[in-house]
Amino acid sequence: AFGKDISLSSVSGIPLVRLTPAGMQAWEMNMKRIFDIFISIFGLICLSPLLLFLMLRVKMDSKGPIFFTQERLGKYAKTFRIIKFRTMRTDAEAEGPQLSSANDSRITKFGAIMRRYRLDELPQLLNVIKGDMSLVGPRPERDFYAKQILQQAPHYELIYQVRPGITSLGMAKFGYANTVEKMIERLDYDIIYLKQASLLMDIKILVFTIKPVLSGSGL
């Protein structure tokens, strides 16, 4: 798997790591990018019937747009708009930013099904092709939450050295984080990924991600 015996030395909760601008060499980063583009295009073509079905069901399920876009922080902390299938009511954040939780009343009926199987994430393959994201990398957060994380864990800024991912070592090993505190806990896995990143590790994480997605247990 991913080395369960791995631990991080730290002082006051800050990992003692010294990272180069990326855990991979330049040629490995190029191979990763080619792999990302190939798999994303292949995935969009093969999944096109499913994507069309999901688009129709989202439209039938509730009023509002099919897609949901939101500003997230990517590589070098540059903002980009992440693309997802809409799973919530259009007024979901009328009272300001809120992280979703189990049995969240803002989530639509079909939205809950998509989230269970992570189908709402599929449009992010477009983000990968555009260069905003990678298939594997630390999950991108909104500036609103990133600032809160940085206040408690300054080393969070290390994740800006790479493109964020649709899935990550943190997602595979820790799962979904619905609080800032859990995001910080999950960060340890993202730091491990930065230190040990390789194309082989990306493939392992993708394979590890498939089982819970297909079983509907999510991540």
pLDDT at 1 over 50: no
Confirm if 90 and 66 have CB atoms less than 8 A apart.
no
Q: In angstroms, rounded to a whole number, what is the distance separating the alpha carbons of residues 40 and 184?
A: 29
How confident is the model over 90-129, as pLDDT tens digits?
A: 887 767 777 776 678 899 999 999 999 999 999 999 999 9
Write the DSSP assignment of 86-137 as a string of letters: --B-TTTTTTS-----TT-TTB-HHHHHHHHTTGGGTTHHHHHHHTS-EEES
pLDDT at 72 over 90: yes
Which pLDDT belongs to residue 23?
A: 65
**Are β-strands 67-73 and 79-85 bridged in parallel, bridged antiparallel, or unpaired?**
antiparallel
CA distances from 92 to 104, 121, 158 (A): 10, 18, 31
Which pLDDT belongs to residue 219?
A: 55
Question: pTM of the prediction?
Answer: 0.86
The domain limits of the chain are 10-215
Confirm if 167 and 156 have CB atoms less than 8 A apart.
no
> Which residue is it, tokens 């191979």?
31
Q: Please, which pLDDT band fits residue 200 given cuts at 50, 70 and 90?
A: very high
pLDDT at 199 over 80: yes
pLDDT at 35 over 60: yes
Phi-psi label, residue 137: left if phi above 0, alpha if psi -120 to 50, beta otherwise: left
Contacts of 33 by beta carbon, 8 Å cutoff, 6+ apart: 134
Q: What is the mean pLDDT of residues 21-49?
A: 90
pLDDT at 6 over 60: no
Question: How much of the chain, in percent, has pLDDT values that exceed 90?
Answer: 61
Q: What is the mean pLDDT of residues 56-71?
A: 94
